[in-house]
Structure 1
């Protein structure tokens, strides 16, 4: 069995005698990725907060990048961030809760019920606790209940270790000891299955990954293959289950409705691009940097910034100019070049108010970036995106008006340098089996992965200019093959 590591925000206040497992500061875990390289410890994340962009959030995110199992996973953290993301679990949970109470004598339930590693103090709720843990693997969950003839669940929330009193911490350590004595089992996959294609779009988005005209082109090709394609909007979540597959063609974010649609599609057993796991992984540059490094895939020299104490280290290691990035930025937004320590301090200090972790990377100027499209583990298209005029990025946002984009050159897959194609393929396959766009820089020092996009641009006349309708045919077949299995 693998070792267990407990993560705590503050070691000074942690009762080390309460557990036999190694206790590590969350900051040390984040800042020292080499610490467990080659090992596969099981991580229990007891950080002070699981809020989005907090250190606790990044601990769970990067554990996955490092090939380590973690409780709670970042998927669980996100699922429990809003009721609309977990409401489909409520009917089954309420049924199990009320069945446990039916005909059994005992005290009325508290309005806030706590479950520790799937166990409840109340013996009537033994089966319910196991079911809850099967849905949401977490050290401590707190349920807000409404009492009556039928006990209903109004909220399920992660409860950080810092919110527990002395008795609660004692209960947690006892439950953790029982849990870690057993072999880890992954949560059961909840995936039924069914068939017709929905495409999530926002007609008002300034830079969508596919235009409406491009999606109409795909619909014509899909129709010849016996598939209908229907555009849907964010208001159509209640009828998503009427379709057999979902293709998300809005810019994705785990903090908006696109993640909610992806998660619901997955729960309905529908093939989906982008799937929730790919979305979580690709929309965060900290995760991508560690994942690429752990798979031996070249990336620009990178320094993680957790606080002002890291600024000088970044300057010494990367030099100026360097590129500063907000982890979950997209379309070149939240990506800035800084030319001096003064600029670094000013920008990083401002951005650290919204994200507890930033990344700084070596500046690698090129006249274009390669984009290798990968679908189902195989190359799909190849394009060179040219830098915007008199700018160092593909898209220049600071124009005072409409964003300015550079041009493009399309290539057949046979024309792409083998090292570029191979590196792009390896990067995409480290994420998953869906549709990805890998951005790479080809330099005198080699080929480097800059980013892996979970919802890459797919424009008729651009990404399909070389491979033609084969791009759209393969996309359609990707969904069909997964519906049929």
Structure 2
């Protein structure tokens, strides 16, 4: 029995060529015991009405009660009762609307959107954006041109309201939505579980390079997943999947956090989970958490913007490291050699944050990086400092960004105290996938930071485990599903 359900009043009209989709009536969904027992179902509600207390309304309501992933959700349908919310959201992508509609000859456009596809293909970018905001199978958007194009109305459509001559377009859009990248591969044998890997093709320093991503896809398929690569434009497709692996740099004020929150709320297995993103991307939180649990770190001070005049900078030992709370990949980290440089850096950092961390500088030739998966060491690397620089990345290098060399060790060869410290620190965050940066001074180890989105690159972190590194990560997703 399929885990994907299409629920419609007229299933005979919706017999699909997609083999792993089951088409049933609302009555079957309400009454059959199999749909009540399992939480694994992904439901597309294509009933003839979504009105309050209609069959379509109750399909979505019961699906949410049963913890099934359903489109549309009741809360989404409720949003359409408040046109101001819709119009405010549309303002966020006003430039896309103006660009997309600039060649329209009339002053009014009625645009039908089915699963993110616009019935005018050249307007698919607008269709995708609207679908990501409001996950409803079928919508009608009305645009009027005054001084500029304005979205004046957006409403969900049920099948009774959808034009008869557009039924084929709807079915094609549904097929494409369900099959994703594999829709053109007739020999493709679908597996039980679906996993999405969120990537950003434009990112200059992604946490996994292209070859590593390919290895994750192969490993995912090997352990039993259908694997799709998705981007930030695929937010509305999250409910199709059982698991989400985020392989672009995360931040709280970013679409990656939105993806993680949505995935977690829909019951997906997700790494990085939103709680880990929240904790790891803020260095103030991490520093206080580690201090509270007596985990060794370099000495540090939290500097508040409104208390800067009271600071006695002459008491600090220079050079000193200054960190923005949410910096990543060595960005937002600067070294001040004296009080004048300290004041200048603080002035810059305080433009975007009320707090800045000042940290003792421990000069080393390399940083340890211990990868942790589900509270167990996954890999161990040495990241050496960039040439003639004090960090592993030099963003002001003569040829652009410069990196230091790396050396990957067998876990069995790594110092036991190093591994134990990394496991102890990440256990305070959760049981996901983390990269722990550690300084070594003599025989002592100090946590620098914990990364929720650690590098897993082909040719670096996988040098010891090879393909087994990717399999171990994918197997962890599977273990959490079965």
Q: Secondary structure of 1:410's match? A: strand
1:284-305 Cα shifts (integer Å, max 9, x gaps): 0000001111111101101001
Superposition pairs of residues 130-209 of structure 1, within 5 angstroms: 154=85, 195-209=193-207
Question: In structure 2, do the counterparts of structure 1 residues 326 and 151 end up closer, same or farther at CA, with 3 Å as the change threshold?
Answer: closer
Measure how far apart 1:477 and its partner are.
Answer: 1.4
Q: Secondary structure of 1:398's match? A: strand
2:214 matched residue in structure 1: 216
- Asked if 1:416 corresponds to 2:347, the answer is no
Measure how far apart 1:424 and its partner are.
Answer: 0.9
1:399 matched residue in structure 2: 397
1:282 matched residue in structure 2: 280
1:87 matched residue in structure 2: none
Q: Who wins on radius of gyration, i.e. which is larger?
A: 2
Paired residue for 2:448, among 447, 450, 454?
A: 450
Contact preservation (8 Å) 1:246, 1:271: yes
Question: In structure 2, do the counterparts of structure 1 residues 312 and 395 end up closer, same or farther at CA, with 3 Å as the change threshold?
Answer: farther
Measure how far apart 1:461 and its partner are.
Answer: 2.1
Mind listing any 5+ residue stretches in structure 2 that lack a counterpart?
1-49, 54-77, 87-191
Paired residue for 2:371, among 366, 370, 373?
A: 373
2:268 matched residue in structure 1: 270
Question: In structure 2, do the counterparts of structure 1 residues 147 and 391 end up closer, same or farther at CA, with 3 Å as the change threshold?
Answer: closer
- The 1-side partners of 2:203 and 2:353 are apart by 25
Mind listing any 5+ residue stretches in structure 1 that lack a counterpart?
1-94, 100-145, 156-193
Superposition pairs of residues 85-484 of structure 1, within 5 angstroms: 154=85, 195-307=193-305, 309-310=307-308, 313=311, 315=313, 318-399=316-397, 401-444=399-442, 446-484=444-482
1:118-154 Cα shifts (integer Å, max 9, x gaps): xxxxxxxxxxxxxxxxxxxxxxxxxxxx999x67893
Q: Secondary structure of 1:389's match? A: coil
Superposition pairs of residues 49-64 of structure 1, within 5 angstroms: none
1:348-391 Cα shifts (integer Å, max 9, x gaps): 02211210011000001100000000001111110000000000
Question: In structure 2, do the counterparts of structure 1 residues 310 and 228 end up closer, same or farther at CA, with 3 Å as the change threshold?
Answer: same
Question: In structure 2, do the counterparts of structure 1 residues 316 and 449 end up closer, same or farther at CA, with 3 Å as the change threshold?
Answer: farther
Contact preservation (8 Å) 2:434, 2:452: yes
- The 1-side partners of 2:373 and 2:312 are apart by 35
1:297-337 Cα shifts (integer Å, max 9, x gaps): 10110100103644775745641100000000000000000
Question: In structure 2, do the counterparts of structure 1 residues 257 and 400 end up closer, same or farther at CA, with 3 Å as the change threshold?
Answer: farther
- The 1-side partners of 2:82 and 2:236 are apart by 25
Contact preservation (8 Å) 1:311, 1:345: no
Contact preservation (8 Å) 1:303, 1:359: yes
TM-score norm. by structure 1 comes to 0.59
Measure how far apart 1:432 and its partner are.
Answer: 0.5
- The 1-side partners of 2:82 and 2:340 are apart by 58
Output the aligned Cα RMSD: 2.6
TM-score norm. by structure 2 comes to 0.60
Q: Secondary structure of 1:365's match? A: coil
Measure how far apart 1:402 and its partner are.
Answer: 2.5
Greater shift in the superposed pair: 307-316 or 438-447: 307-316
- The 2-side partners of 1:333 and 1:442 are apart by 22
Q: Secondary structure of 1:319's match? A: coil
